[in-house]
Amino acid sequence: MNQGDLQEISIAQLRLGHYVELDLKWFEHPFAFSHFKLKSREQIDSLRELGLHTVRINPRLSDDLEKRVPSAATAPQPAPPAMAGNEPGLSPVMQAKRVLIEQMKARREDAQRVENAFVNSVKVIRDIEKDLYRRPQETVQQATQLIKQIADSILNAPELAIQVMGDKLGGEEQYFHSLNVTVLSIMMARDLKLPIELAGMLGVGALLHDIGRKEVPDKILLKTEPLTQAERNFYERHCQFGVDIAQRLNLAPAAIGIIREHHELFDGSGFPAGLKGEAIAPLARIVVIANYYDELCNPLHLADALTPHEALSLMFAKLRSKFDPRILQTLIRCLGVYPPGTIVQLSNGAIGLVVTVNTRKPMKPAIVVFDAAIPKEEAMVLDMDHETEFNIAKAIRPNQVPRDVYNYLSPRKRISYYFDASTAQREVDK
């Protein structure tokens, strides 16, 4: 905005309805943003406590105050004593700032902890796939143990946070898909209240749903041009190849059914058997949706990738008939309209990246906010569950934001998810 549009006034002239623009960084004041409309007397008191004598306001965004005359009833009250609060020597404003900074630090530590767990899980999946033929019994046990750990954590957590991951594992992308489908499937199982025994079989089937691709030549799997009909027919056989492998591994029938049917669609347009509706096994219907969503977000050719918001919108608005409606609603309910990895614009014009969604309150995600004045390592993480002044206005495609904003937010080339079921994270989110 043109600086000439702003008007500088004294703190004593501030009234409710003024739109304030502070020349301070986010950690130098207790407010979520440096520009906002005054809606409470406490906000004015907080500005006084900062020691400011004047502030800038935006008349265009302020309420019409020209005809209002200050009175004893509306005049700002004296600021509380600087020594007020729980910590000696800190004013309430400074205490609020301290709490906010500590929350940001805790969130970054949580994010690093979850990312480390994600990296370790990807490495386990890599070992499972590499040793599947050489040490079949041991690898099945390893897969079962990984699924048990994931399922126990997800199903038993009072609250579950789904977090977008970074791109730190070069060359391991082929294992991301299996883990994404597994996490999303068990996340939906939690919402559907599946018994842990079924969730365990669901997880094993989701983790190994694509094992039949090991029998498909790379020249087909990695082909950049459209497949010929013969190549397409061979590719579709990977479902049966997977069933053959799963039977040799003595997997449970329910897991084998997932491997067989993870490309079947509710309207009968899937493969290999063209099953329709409830002819598709219930657990397979869950994996079908997780698999389809992840392939939209992370296709072979990244230029064709949809944003998480676009993928969910497409599946719900145009492809709804292809999926079990109850399970599709479950995915949307868990991830929210703005899943992790979505760039959004807030109602106050700020731009951010959705980084975490709590499945209990998916419409109130946590967002990393762009601020050119702050290093991105110190960027504010805004918990929308605690905000009443503004909301998410819309999703934005990465190519619609300026390059500096894109680089700051670092949207991932590939969208990968992992979960946080820790008590520490829940306490921070309160």
Q: Secondary structure of 262-312 in the HEC alphabet?
A: CCCCCCCCCCCCCCCHHHCCHHHHHHHHHHHHHHHHCCCCHHHCCCHHHHH
Mean pLDDT of 16-33: 83
In degrees and rounded to multiples of 5, residue 132 shows phi and psi of: -60, -40
d(CA 27, CA 96): 10
The sign of the dihedral angle between the CA atoms of 258, 262, 264, 270 is negative
- As to burial, measured by CB atoms within 10 angstroms (0-12 exposed, 13-18 middle, 19+ buried), residue 46 is buried
Share of the chain above pLDDT 70, in %: 88
User: Which three-class secondary structure state does DSSP give residue 88?
Assistant: coil
Give the residue-averaged pLDDT of 14-21: 90
Give the pLDDT of residue 371: 87
Q: What is the pLDDT of residues 73-130, one digit of tens each?
A: 344 444 444 333 345 555 665 676 677 678 778 878 888 899 899 999 999 999 998 8
Q: Domain spans of the chain?
A: 1-62, 101-336+416-421
Q: H-helix or E-strand containing 206?
A: helix 196-207
| Residue linked to tokens 């190994």 | 208
Which is more confident, 278 or 73? 278
Residue 55, C-beta contacts closer than 8 angstroms, at least 6 positions apart:
8, 9, 11, 14, 20, 21, 22, 47
Q: Give percent above pLDDT 90 in the chain.
A: 58
CA-CA distance, 223 to 202, in Å (whole number)?
30
Are 132 and 142 contacting, i.e. CB atoms less than 8 angstroms apart?
Answer: no
Q: How far is CA 143 from CA 108, 124, 183, 239, in A?
A: 30, 8, 14, 19
In the block, tokens 């997880």 appear at 203
What does the alpha-carbon distance between residue 358 and residue 243 come to, in Å, rounded to a whole number? Answer: 35
Q: Two tokens at 171?
A: 């060359």
Please list, in sequence order, all residues whose beta carbon lies within 8 angstroms of the beta carbon of residue 190, skipping any fewer than 6 positions away: 154, 155, 160, 199, 359
Question: What is the architecture, at CATH level 2, of domain 101-336+416-421?
Answer: Orthogonal Bundle (1.10)
Tell me what the mean pLDDT of segment 243-272 comes to.
97
Taking phi over 0 as left and psi of -120 to 50 as alpha, with beta for the rest, 265 belongs to beta
Average pLDDT, the chain: 86
Helix, strand and coil content of the chain, in percent to the nearest 5, comes to 50, 10, 40
Q: Give the model confidence (pLDDT) of 378-405 as tens digits.
A: 888 888 988 877 899 999 998 899 999 9
**Element of type H or E holding 253:** helix 253-261
CA 90 to chain centre: 36
User: Looking at residue 51, what is its pLDDT?
Assistant: 82
pLDDT band at 249 (very low <50, low <70, confident <90, very high): very high
